[in-house]
Amino acid sequence: MKTKLLLLVVLVVVALSVDAQKGDEKQFKIGAGVLLGLPVGDITSKASIALGVDLLGEYAVAPKIALTLSAGYSDWAKKSGVNGNWGFIPIFAGGKYYFTDQIYGSFQAGLSFWADGTKCEFAFAPGVGYKISDKFDLLLKYQSQSNVRWSTSFFGLRAGYSF
């Protein structure tokens, strides 16, 4: 758990200390987001919705390409009769490709740590986003984490604010 918190702190420190400029456009951005997800696959019999928050760092490496790093916390709203803590901490690295100034594709992969410390699973999240403005964007994504016997997947909508 200490390692996860350390990674989150490093992401925040790096994001707040970098202020490189590329013309009028920032080369590095950090943002916070909220997530609402609907379960698919194995998890649908046990959970009704996923709710989460995250921090996302974005570093522009070319006019249409950016690298991303994110960390957050999400939890499943369990159906009645289901017990246990189902919170998870996804830590992802990935990228964005801007098709236009407003529409982008996103892909992230990494590890998802269960909040109770019992599991760590490979996870990935492809998506399509829309920049409403320089500060606000929406991302429709599919996120899946799995192990040998089980997968927890959802289609989600992330609303983000960039600083």
Nearest alpha-carbon partner for 35 in 68, 77, 80, 82: 77
pLDDT (tens digit, 9 = 90+) per residue, 51-60? Answer: 999 999 999 9
CA dist 50 and 27 (Å) reads: 32
pLDDT at 18: 47
Q: pLDDT at residue 139 above 90?
A: yes
Phi/psi of residue 42, nearest 5 degrees: -55, -35
Average predicted confidence (pLDDT) for the chain:
86
pLDDT at 103: 98
Q: Number of helices (H) and strands (E) in the chain: give both, helices first.
A: 1, 10
Q: What is the DSSP string of 72-123?
A: EEEEEEEPTT--S---EEEEEEEEEEESSSSEEEEEEEEEEEETTSS-EEEE
Q: pLDDT at residue 130 above 60?
A: yes
Confidence of residue 16 (pLDDT cuts 50, 70, 90): very low
pLDDT (tens digit, 9 = 90+) per residue, 69-79? Answer: 999 999 988 88
Mean pLDDT computed over 138-160 = 90
% residues pLDDT > 70 (the chain) = 84
Which DSSP category does 6 fall into?
H
Mean pLDDT computed over 66-70 = 98
Which residue would you say has higher pLDDT here, 97 or 44?
Answer: 97
Cβ proximity of 52 and 35 under 8 Å: yes
Which strand (E) or helix (H) includes residue 4?
helix 2-17
Domains of the chain, each with CATH number or no CATH: 2-18+28-162 (2.40.160.20)
pLDDT at 132: 96
